[in-house]
A and B are shown apart, each in its own frame.
Chain A
Amino acid sequence: MGYYAFYVFAFIAVISSLLVVGQKNPMHSVMLLIASFGALAGLYVLLDAPFTAVTQIIVYAGAIMVLFLFVVMLLNVPREEPVIVPASALLGPTGMRIGVLLSLLLAVEVVWAMTRIGIGWFSQGPGAASVSSVALIGSGLFTRHAFAFEATSILILVAMIGAVVLARREHH
């Protein structure tokens, strides 16, 4: 059962991510990325991480993607403009080819490195259930990782002020 669910979710995630990169219309890209995030949330459920799955849906698909959709609609640029005159040989179709080659190389490299570690089976039984405990995540977050948690709040504050300052309309 979990076997088929993994492949279904993995298929959805990979196909929709490919389509995100392939779409010309940013609006469609955002919608497909939401589908990809939904599939990843399903994978988190399979990995006994319900808290992360719900956070993925609420924070990523709910908040961040709405922000992207808002900007896409605000700027109202439906299509990517075609490349008219490539500034150099690296930006033309040759550049596209180099980009595709580099990404394929990266994919092969990462997949090779990650299959080199040997087959890792997930442990079953009572020890495995502790991973899905939200209480353990909370206690870890507020004790061992308390400093990182507080630093994150500063980061959010800085990002908020930065976004307001950057997007402000300047009055000359």
Chain B
Amino acid sequence: MVSLNHYLVLSGILFAIGTAGVFLRRNLITVLLSVEIMLNAVNLTFVAVGRYLNTVDGQIITFFVMTVAAAEAAVGLALVISLFRHRETLNPDAFTVLRW
């Protein structure tokens, strides 16, 4: 039988993988993708605990998280495009100065 803990551990592993991506990668697009992995790990926790407590609230929160993720991706990618136009690179280390 698969218990709640299986899902929680899987979600913890996925979250750590996403964090590792944010720490280790030198590419703004991959960093954004890693943030999506982290958001999905949290979604999995919400749905699993919602199933455990027999309530639909977990799925409703997941719905809102997805909406926020979509908004975050849109704004984040617009920022990436804007930064790439100015510096011709996606390396976050190139954007350490607070001016163009």
CB distance A29 to B52 under 8 Å? no
User: How far apart sit A21 and B24, CA to CA, in the bound complex (Å)?
Assistant: 8
- Asked if residues A14 and B13 are in contact (CB atoms below 8 Å), the reply is yes
Residues of chain A from 27 to 85 with CB closer than 8 A to chain B in the complex: 29-30, 33, 36-37, 40, 43-44, 46-49, 51-52, 55-56, 59-60, 63-64, 67-68, 71-72, 74-75, 77, 80-81, 83
Residues of A within 8 A of B27 (CB): 26, 77, 80
Over the window 14-50 of chain B, the binary record of Cβ atoms lying under 8 Å from chain A Cβ atoms (1 yes, 0 no) is 1111111101111101101110110010011001101
Give the shortest distance, in Å, between B27 (CB) and chain A (any CB). 5
> Which A residues lie within 8 Å of B84 (CB)?
75, 77
Contact of B70 among A46, A59, A81 (CB under 8 A): A59
- Whether B79 contacts A59 by the Cβ 8 Å rule is no
Contact in complex: B40, A155 (CB < 8 Å): no
Do residues B51 and A47 form an inter-chain contact, with CB atoms below 8 A?
A: yes
* Structural contact, B16 and A103, CB atoms closer than 8 A: yes
Shortest C-beta distance, A140 to chain B (Å), equals: 5
Are the C-beta atoms of A52 and B62 separated by less than 8 Å?
yes
Instruction: Tell me which of A30, A40, A100, A127 contacts B54 (CB under 8 A).
Output: A127
Classify the interface of chain B: helix, strand, loop or mixed: helix
Assess whether A89 is interfacial by the CB under 8 Å rule: no
Q: Chain A residues with Cβ under 8 A from B56's Cβ?
A: 130-131, 133, 136-137, 140
Contact check, B40 vs A40: say whether CB atoms are below 8 A apart.
yes
Among A26, A55, A107, point to the contact of B13 (Cβ < 8 A).
A107
Decide: B50 and A17 in contact? CB cutoff 8 A.
no
Is the pair B15, A110 in contact by a Cβ cutoff of 8 Å?
yes
A-B residue pairs in contact (CB < 8 Å), sample of 7: A26-B33, A48-B51, A67-B73, A71-B77, A100-B20, A103-B23, A131-B55
Given contact pairs A71-B80, A110-B12, A152-B67, a sample of 8 additional A-B residue pairs in the complex whose CB atoms are under 8 Å apart: A10-B6, A21-B34, A77-B84, A80-B90, A110-B16, A115-B8, A162-B78, A164-B78
